[in-house]
Amino acid sequence: MAEVLVYVDHVDGAVRKPTLELLTLARRIGEPVAVALGAGAEATAAVLAEHGAVKVLTADAPEFSDYLVVPKVDALQAAYDAVSPAAVLVPSSAEGKEIAARLAVRIGSGIITDATDLEAGDEGPVATQAAFAASFSVKSRVSKGTPVITVKPNSAPVEAAPAAGAVEALAVTFGALATGTKVTSRTPRESTGRPELTEAAIVVSGGRGVNGAENFHIIEALADSLGAAVGASRAAVDAGWYPHSNQVGQTGKSVSPQLYIASGISGAIQHRAGMQTSKTIVAINKDAEAPIFDLVDYGVVGDLFAVVPQLTDEIKARKG
Amino acid sequence: MSLRIVVCVKYVPDATGDRQFTEDLTVNRDDVDGLLSELDEYAVEQALQIADEADDAEITVLTVGPEDAKDALRKALSMGADKAIHVEDDDLHGSDVMATSLVLAKAIEKAGYDLVITGMASTDGTMGVLPAILAERLGVPQVTLLSEVKVEDGVVTGRRDGDSASEQLEASLPALVSVTDQSGEARYPSFKGIMAAKKKPVESWDLEELEIESDEVGLEGSWTAVDSATQRPARTAGTIVKDEGEGGKSLAAFLAEQKFI
Ligand SMILES: Cc1cc2nc3c(=O)[nH]c(=O)nc-3n(C[C@H](O)[C@H](O)[C@H](O)COP(=O)(O)OP(=O)(O)OC[C@H]3O[C@@H](n4cnc5c(N)ncnc54)[C@H](O)[C@@H]3O)c2cc1C
Ligand SMILES: Cc1cc2nc3c(=O)[nH]c(=O)nc-3n(C[C@H](O)[C@H](O)[C@H](O)COP(=O)(O)OP(=O)(O)OC[C@H]3O[C@@H](n4cnc5c(N)ncnc54)[C@H](O)[C@@H]3O)c2cc1C
């Protein structure tokens, strides 16, 4: 059976959920061979094996953290040369997309980004993408070279499928471009303890209607009652009420949770671009004409300062 | 020494219009107004600011697109860019990212550059990968997704706010930079700028000029193929209630019914 390279997104050995979803998709088109790079790479093997990786290729070197993107491309290319896979799958993070894109140039292949589904086809894997702020569903293929496809979080279920997961060291030679862009300092983002926005099953977002940084605790309290991640519109972020890393939309994060709750958000096309694929959408807005109501499964026309705390209290009461 | 900046700008259908695909599954450009991709305005703005700080700089804006794409170039010129290059050829229709980047790379090399600046993503394809691909093709450092950028003594530095960390980056010129919409509001063209733009040179290049074969680009020559594009069914009208004191509770009841609580 053909092998499929899966690029592993992990933090010091802790594999992030989108990679496990990739393993589910990879098994539809072949046998997953995982590539884990950087500190803790070997520690990823157990969980990758549990989810179907027949092999885990690992490499660590200071280059991976000291320079931007290219050293990881060199490593993924080494894995590609070692395996000759039928496809290469990479999680659709900003960095993942760049790594995939540069690999595609090097191996003379086409690339598809932000796939939301993947299936085997007669002429290679067929990817589904959401286009034009998710108003279209597009099916496409890579027609030249080995398909390189990046996949959005929450695109497939995580499934157990025990496999060998044999760890093999990957020999990487860094090219001249590897040290082109130096990372001179790095400030890690402080963890809030809440789920990762792009991976969360429930996202609770606030917009301009929240009317001040000091009011975002209302949104956070609702999120915490549901174990949800907190999102924000660009208007709220631009006003400095919430960090940019929480922005949902075209230039922020793209989310596809089971449930999306928008409070005080009008539903501009650029915001919709980042949340329209959510399964269930709920909105609270005092303007009955707000475009967000065109998307909702359930909407409340009302003042969020009354509705959101009542909702939070009711959820807590129901959960006991 | 003069600093040669090339800014890549894309001409896209207005995102607030009713965007559709045509029969050959390419973007319908006829029924929705086109404009300079809003995120590329940030690239033009940063180019202008970098040029202001340099002793001597020249900004060339470059687009690959149909005839109307000149509008995008005019807008960038009216913001303050010095000259423009329009790569236009019927055989380019339907080019994917690999084909487009091939053309851009050849054009950038022909134009000559020290610094290439792009937006973070287009507002139509929104792949966000073209900058990295261009850097790979040009063989220069990529300094991408910057929310702050500075060029001094042949070195570009910037801040990249990633998912898990904020990084400070550094590379020597020649280099490729992409900027996010956090990099600073783009200026509006002044009346003077608009008048001046009319006199600025816009060169037109075709594939032959760039020594690119027509079978390397366009729908046929591309590296990817679109099989279908289907409009997603409009969401079925949801329940909308007016809050009369019980809005939060009724919403909780809905969430419970949907098993979220
Ligand atoms: C190139 C580009 C990229 C962009 N990228 C993004 C992006 O990634 N994400 C994004 O979100 N936007 C993005 N935008 C901005 C987008 O166009 C909108 O401006 C933005 O989404 C508006 O945010 P909002 O809905 O919070 O604010 P508004 O549109 O001002 O809406 C506020 C809403 O709150 C309601 N409201 C006010 N008070 C209350 C109250 N007390 N109770 C209940 N409701 C109340 C109002 O009725 C209104 O509907 C982008 C724009 C451009 C041009
Ligand atoms: C909905 C949709 C989905 C698509 N999916 C794919 C896909 O999966 N694979 C694929 O190969 N192609 C795809 N395409 C085609 C692809 O979008 C175009 O080939 C495009 O020109 C390059 O990608 P982008 O617009 O997404 O650029 P991005 O990578 O999002 O753009 C980043 C920057 O590159 C510069 N730039 C981009 N295009 C041009 C240009 N023509 N002229 C000057 N500067 C430019 C701009 O500075 C822009 O800000 C898709 C197109 C659409 C409309």
B112-126 residue pLDDT tens: 999 999 999 999 999
Lowest-pLDDT range of A292-296, B30-34, B256-260: B30-34
The token duo for A79 is 């894995």
What's the B11 CA to ligand 2 centre distance in angstroms? Answer: 10
pTM for the full model?
A: 0.97
Q: What is the pLDDT of residue B1?
A: 59
CA A164 to chain B, closest CA, distance in angstroms equals 31
Cα A130 → chain centroid: 14
Cβ–ligand 1 contact at A84 (below 6 Å):
no
Q: What is the pLDDT of residue B244?
A: 97
Cβ–ligand 2 contact at B142 (below 6 Å):
no
- Judge whether A93 is closer than 8 Å to chain B, CB to CB: yes
Judging contacts by C-beta atoms under 8 Å, the chain B residues touching residue A316 are: none
Q: What is the pLDDT of residue A25?
A: 98
The token duo for B238 is 């949801």
Q: What gap in Å lies between CA B212 and CA B206, rounded to an integer?
A: 9
Q: What is the pLDDT of residue B233?
A: 87
Which atom from ligand 2 is nearest to the alpha carbon of B87? Answer: 42
DSSP of chain B: --EEEEEE--EEE-TTS---B-TTSSB--SSS-EEE-HHHHHHHHHHHHHHHHSSSEEEEEEEE--GGGHHHHHHHHHHT--EEEEE--GGGTT--HHHHHHHHHHHHHHH--SEEEEES--SSS----HHHHHHHHHT--EEEEEEEEEEETTEEEEEEE-SSEEEEEEEESSEEEEE-TTS-PPPPPPHHHHHHHTTS-EEEE-TTTTT--GGGSHHHH-SEEEEEEEEPPPPPP-EEEE-SS-HHHHHHHHHHHTT--
Contact between B41 and B186 under an 8 Å Cβ cutoff? The reply is: yes
Query: For ligand 1, atom 43, which residue shows the shortest CA distance?
Result: A285
Query: For ligand 2, atom 2, which residue shows the shortest CA distance?
Result: B125
Region A231-258: mean pLDDT is: 96
Q: What is the pLDDT of residue A170?
A: 98
Q: What is the pLDDT of residue B235?
A: 83
Question: Which residues lie across from A4 on neighbouring strands?
Answer: A32, A87
Checking if the pLDDT of B29 tops 90, the result is: no
* ipTM associated with this complex: 0.96
Interface contact A101-B132, CB threshold 8 A:
yes
Give B 67-126 residues with CB within 8 A of chain A: 96-98, 101, 120-121, 123-124, 126
Checking if the pLDDT of A1 tops 80, the result is: no
Query: For ligand 1, atom 37, which residue shows the shortest CA distance?
Result: A209
Interface contact B247-A306, CB threshold 8 A:
yes
Q: B117: closest CA among B8, B41, B3?
A: B8
Those residues whose C-beta lies under 8 Å from the C-beta of residue A240, and which sit 6 or more positions away, are: A213
Q: B47: closest CA among B104, B119, B102?
A: B119
Interface contact B251-A94, CB threshold 8 A:
no
pLDDT in tens, A32-68: 999 999 999 999 999 999 999 999 999 999 999 999 9
In angstroms, the Cα distances linking A316 to A175, A201, A225, A226 are 56, 18, 6, 9
